[in-house]
């Protein structure tokens, strides 16, 4: 049941929920008509179907004209059957007697029709001016059953009782059967409070206060918990940042230490011939400054200086070849050959660890321009990584799949897929960072080197998850030709 | 520079043949005699040159380092001025070298003038030391030719005693003292009394230094 409140249209009652059941005791016909008109006016304005069961001596015609005066667009609503006026015989006394169940079923049927029409619900007003003493017990029985039935439906009911007919006990009884009872007293409408109602209201108020208190309490506790959580998150983030900084520092120091040692030895190696070259050049100048100049001495020392300079150059050359191993030799090659060569090289690793190797190598590949040894190094790295990743778990299948094909951009695309544990999101972001490794004995240099080789060839290298498990490493190499030349121009140092 | 003296020699010790050859070239271009050696051990196997001499030594040598070599020289009482050259000198190393009596501590690569200036001052020092040593030994030889009575007279004259007092102290006549004194002046080739006083002091200091060293 939606809890949205409905406007009762009656000022002293205000908004009521669906299932609202209240009664009015009226003195004069105009009191009744005013109140009922306000009631229906609000209902019609809020798209509720309205039903008025009138009572003698009021006729349907009088009822219609009374509403027409007080409710805007009344005739339109009447024509649209948004409001219906029934006589007490049609409403309550079908078959000549008061049958609570039949009456209630009747209201329920009206409600279904209203809902089918797209109305929000049904608003009923029943006048009991026709009720005689002998009906009193039956009408109370009906009210009781109706009250119970109302609670479950999108219905609001207003029961009108003429004050002139009721006795004090009757009024009390009626009041007890309704949530609200409104009576016309001293020219003003006011709510008749029964002790039950008062008590219920107080209880409700108390529970409301209690609830509110508990909400405040709970909110405060949540706020405290929230604050603690926020502090923990901040603390964790700070710790992660510190960890990351420490790792960066370690990597930096490791690089510097190696570099520092290396630089010191290179500096010494170069300093010796440099010192000699300087001294020899000075000596040569002195021979030349003599009167007469000693050309033979100058010649000899310049020759020595030249030897020294060449020695320094040789040191530089040695260092350079050490750093780059050898200059890459770019030739046109079939990447499938490279894949097959490396697979042959790693056969021992595959067999030793029960890896099933599958290849799907396209026979329609363009040749690529590249350094065979470097590309072998990339394949070797990716294949050994895959084999190692799958070796940990003995139960899962270990399938290594290597494919090659042309992609839509006209590059050669190579993929190495494994069924290992795959990449967690933390590792995935840092795979290609130098010194990052997930292996116990890893240097963390394999993938960064692969990346730099592939990029130097004008290609791309990336990792993604395999389905249902594992990882796929893919790289592209531009096909030899114009594309390669363009890439080459962008990477002149390769 | 006395023309009679042998020309000065620089002994270079560096294990790097290129540097060794370059230093040799540089020093020869300014008219210095150079002996180039590859290790400290080679030095002790050879005769020291006649004329003034100094050493140019690389700190980092195979076997005995340059600093070890400096200690070896002191032990062997070879008092040759020493210039260190090094590829990577640190403060500690240079302090140790200078305390050991090194003339200069140069870091490679150095300006040639720095090295030549250092060599020049080292050779000056060695020449002065040699002259001093020569003078003392000549004086010593002449002193050896004096009789014991003549040495007594010379010591008393140097102390400022008049002939009369010397005669009284030695129990001889003043005439005899004068005769001894004349022979001392002639044998020692002193030209004046002042000469005698100065030389006697030098001789005494050298002898005391000798005794102190032994």
- Which residues in chain A touch residue B25, judged by CB atoms under 8 angstroms apart? 279-280, 283-284, 297, 300-301, 304
What SS3 class is residue B193? Answer: helix
Q: How far apart are CA A311 and CA A277, in angstroms?
A: 10
* Res A390: pLDDT: 86
Contact of B87 with chain A, judged by CB distance below 8 Å, is answered with yes
Q: Per the CB < 8 Å rule, is B19 touching A271?
A: no
Q: Per the CB < 8 Å rule, is B87 touching A278?
A: no
Q: Minimal Cα–Cα distance from B12 to chain A, Å? A: 13
Asked whether the beta carbons of A6 and A17 are under 8 A apart, the reply is yes
Banded pLDDT at B4 (limits 50, 70, 90):
very low
Share of chain B above pLDDT 70, in %: 94
Asked whether the beta carbons of B13 and B69 are under 8 A apart, the reply is yes
Token pair of A212, please? 């509110």
pTM of the model as a whole? 0.42
Token pair of A279, please? 């001294």
Q: How far apart are CA A303 and CA A282, in angstroms?
A: 13
Contact of B25 with chain A, judged by CB distance below 8 Å, is answered with yes
Give, in order, the Cα–Cα distances in Å from B187 to each of A57, A380, B123, B140: 179, 97, 33, 12
**Smallest CA–CA distance from A290 into chain B, residue:** B29
For chain B, the farthest-separated pair of C-alpha atoms sits apart, in whole angstroms, at 74
Given the structure tokens 């200690």, which residue do they identify?
B71
Q: How far apart are CA A197 and CA A177, in angstroms?
A: 10
* Res A1: pLDDT: 45
Give, in order, the Cα–Cα distances in Å from A60 to each of A87, A91, A129, A158, B77: 7, 13, 14, 18, 147
Centroid of chain to Cα B21: 28
Q: What is the pLDDT of residues A186-230, one digit of tens each?
A: 677 777 766 666 677 777 888 888 888 889 999 999 999 999 999
Q: Minimal Cα–Cα distance from A301 to chain B, Å? A: 6
Q: Per the CB < 8 Å rule, is B25 touching A278?
A: no
- For A283, the closest of B18, B25, B108 (CB atoms) is B25
Does residue B112 or residue A345 have the better pLDDT? Answer: B112
Sign of the Cα torsion A22, A26, A32, A37 reads negative
Q: Which of A407, A416, A422, A409 is nearest to A381 (CA)?
A: A416
Contact of B173 with chain A, judged by CB distance below 8 Å, is answered with no
Q: Which residues pair with A273 in a beta bridge?
A: none
Q: What is the pLDDT of residues A161-189, one digit of tens each?
A: 888 776 667 777 777 778 778 887 667 77
- Which residues in chain A touch residue B31, judged by CB atoms under 8 angstroms apart? none
Given the structure tokens 């030549």, which residue do they identify?
B116
- For B22, the closest of A287, A294, A308 (CB atoms) is A308
Q: What is the pLDDT of residues B10-66, one digit of tens each?
A: 999 998 899 999 999 999 999 899 999 988 888 988 888 888 999 999 988 877 788
Contact of B110 with chain A, judged by CB distance below 8 Å, is answered with yes
The answer to whether residue A427 scores a pLDDT higher than 80 is: no
Residue-wise burial string across A467-481, b where 16 or more C-beta atoms lie within 10 A, e elsewhere? eeebbbbbbbbbbbe
Terminal-to-terminal C-alpha distance of chain A? 74
Q: Read off the DSSP letter of residue A38.
A: H
**Smallest CA–CA distance from B107 into chain A, residue:** A275
Asked whether the beta carbons of A114 and A49 are under 8 A apart, the reply is yes
Q: Per the CB < 8 Å rule, is A283 touching B22?
A: yes
Q: What is the pLDDT of residues A309-354, one digit of tens each?
A: 998 888 787 667 655 555 667 888 999 999 988 887 777 667 667 7
Q: Minimal Cα–Cα distance from B87 to chain A, Å? A: 7
Q: How far apart are CA B80 and CA A346, in angstroms?
A: 68
Q: What is the DSSP string of A188-253?
A: EEEEPPPHHHHHHHHHHHHHHHHHHHHHHHHHHHHHHHHHHHHHHHHHHHHHHHHHHHHHHHHHHH
Token pair of A278, please? 């300087």
Determine the residue among A260, A266, A273, A282 to mutate to test chain B binding: the one whose Cβ has the most chain B Cβ atoms within 10 Å. Answer: A282
Q: Which of A326, A476, A461 is nearest to A381 (CA)?
A: A461
Given the structure tokens 């010397």, which residue do they identify?
B166
Q: Read off the DSSP letter of residue A438.
A: S
* Res B16: pLDDT: 87
CB pairs under 8 A between A and B: 76
Determine the residue among B10, B19, B22, B89 to mutate to test chain A binding: the one whose Cβ has the most chain A Cβ atoms within 10 Å. Answer: B22
- For B22, the closest of A264, A271, A276 (CB atoms) is A276
User: Mean pLDDT of all residues in chain A?
Assistant: 82
Number of Cα atoms under 13 Å in the Cβ half of residue A488: 15
* Res A486: pLDDT: 56
Banded pLDDT at A491 (limits 50, 70, 90):
low
Q: Which residues pair with B84 in a beta bridge?
A: B57, B105
Q: Per the CB < 8 Å rule, is A279 touching B30?
A: no
Q: How far apart are CA A55 and CA A139, in angstroms?
A: 14
**Smallest CA–CA distance from A285 into chain B, residue:** B29
Alpha helix locations (H) across A325-460? 335-345, 347-352, 372-391, 425-430, 446-456
- Complex ipTM value: 0.72
For residue A70, count other CB atoms closer than 10 A to its CB: 15
What SS3 class is residue A445? Answer: coil
- Which residues in chain A touch residue B19, judged by CB atoms under 8 angstroms apart? 272, 275-276, 279
Determine the residue among A267, A273, A275 to mutate to test chain B binding: the one whose Cβ has the most chain B Cβ atoms within 10 Å. Answer: A275
Give, in order, the Cα–Cα distances in Å from A253 to each of A247, A411, A448: 10, 39, 18
Contact of B96 with chain A, judged by CB distance below 8 Å, is answered with no
Q: Minimal Cα–Cα distance from B57 to chain A, Å? A: 14
């Amino acid at each position: 049941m939606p809890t949205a409140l409905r406007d009762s249209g009656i000022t002293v009652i205000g908004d009521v929920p669906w299932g609202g059941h209240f009664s009015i005791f009226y003195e004069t016909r105009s009191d009744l008509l005013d109140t009922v008109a306000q009631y229906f006016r609000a209902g019609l304005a809020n798209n509720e179907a309205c039903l008025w069961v009138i009572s003698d001596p009021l006729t349907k015609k009088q009822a219609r004209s009374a509403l027409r005066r007080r409710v805007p667009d009344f005739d339109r609503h009447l024509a649209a059957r948004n409001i219906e006026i029934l006589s007490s015989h049609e409403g309550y006394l079908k078959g000549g007697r008061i049958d609570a169940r039949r009456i209630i079923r009747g209201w329920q049927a009206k409600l279904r029709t209203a809902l089918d029409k797209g109305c929000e619900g049904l608003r009923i007003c029943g006048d009991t001016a026709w009720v005689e003493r002998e009906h009193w017990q039956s009408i109370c029985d009906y009210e009781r059953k109706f009250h119970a039935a109302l609670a479950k439906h999108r219905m609001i009911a207003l029961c009108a009782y003429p004050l002139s007919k009721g006795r004090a006990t009757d009024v009390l009884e009626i009041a007890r059967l309704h949530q609200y009872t409104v009576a016309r007293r001293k020219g003003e409408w006011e709510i008749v409070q029964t002790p039950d109602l008062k008590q219920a209201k107080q209880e409700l108020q108390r529970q409301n206060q209690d609830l509110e208190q508990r909400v405040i309490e709970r909110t405060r506790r949540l706020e405290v918990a929230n604050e603690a959580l926020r502090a923990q998150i901040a603390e964790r983030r700070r710790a992660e940042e510190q960890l990351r900084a420490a790792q960066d520092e370690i990597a930096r120091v490791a690089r510097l230490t190696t570099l520092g040692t290396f630089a010191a030895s290179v500096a010494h190696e170069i300093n010796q011939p440099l010192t000699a070259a300087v001294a020899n050049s000075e000596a040569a100048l002195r021979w030349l400054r003599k009167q007469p100049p000693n050309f033979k001495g100058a010649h000899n020392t310049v020759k020595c200086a030249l030897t020294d300079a060449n020695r320094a150059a040789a040191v530089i050359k040695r260092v350079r070849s050490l750093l780059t191993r050898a200059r890459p030799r770019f030739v046109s090659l079939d990447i499938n050959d490279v894949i097959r060569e490396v697979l042959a090289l790693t056969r021992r690793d595959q067999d030793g660890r029960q890896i099933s190797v599958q290849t799907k190598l396209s026979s329609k590949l363009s040749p690529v321009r590249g350094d065979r040894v470097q590309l072998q190094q990339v394949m070797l790295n990716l294949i050994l990584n895959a084999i190692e990743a799958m070796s940990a778990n003995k139960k899962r299948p270990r399938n290594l799949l290597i494919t090659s094909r042309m992609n839509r951009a006209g590059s050669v695309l190579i993929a190495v897929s494994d069924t290992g544990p795959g990449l967690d999101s933390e590792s995935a972001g840092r795979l290609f960072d130098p010194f990052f490794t997930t292996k116990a004995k890893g240097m963390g240099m394999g993938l960064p080197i692969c990346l730099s080789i592939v990029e130097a060839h004008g290609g791309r290298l990336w990792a993604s998850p395999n389905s249902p498990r594992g990882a796929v490493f893919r790289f592209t190499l531009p096909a030899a030709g114009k594309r390669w030349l363009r890439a080459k121009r962008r990477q002149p140092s390769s | 520079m006395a023309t009679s003296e042998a020309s000065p020699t620089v002994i270079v010790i560096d294990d790097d043949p290129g540097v060794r050859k370059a230093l040799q070239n540089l020093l020869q271009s300014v008219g210095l005699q150079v002996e180039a050696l590859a290790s400290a051990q080679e030095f002790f196997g050879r005769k020291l040159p006649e004329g003034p001499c100094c050493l140019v030594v690389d700190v980092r040598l195979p076997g005995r380092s340059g600093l070890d070599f400096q200690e070896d020289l002191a032990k062997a009482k070879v008092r040759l001025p020493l210039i260190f050259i090094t590829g990577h000198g640190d403060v500690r190393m240079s302090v140790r070298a200078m305390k050991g009596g090194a003339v200069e501590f140069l870091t490679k690569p150095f300006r040639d003038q720095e090295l030549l200036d250092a060599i020049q001052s080292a050779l000056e020092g060695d020449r002065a030391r040699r002259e001093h040593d020569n003078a003392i030994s000549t004086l010593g030889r002449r002193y050896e030719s004096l009789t014991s009575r003549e040495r007594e007279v010379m010591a008393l004259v140097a102390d400022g005693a008049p002939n009369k007092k010397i005669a009284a102290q030695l129990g001889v006549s003043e005439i005899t003292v004068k005769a001894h004194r004349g022979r001392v002046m002639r044998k020692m080739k002193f030209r004046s009394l002042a000469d005698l006083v100065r030389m006697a002091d030098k001789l005494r200091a050298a002898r005391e230094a000798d005794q102190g060293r032994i």
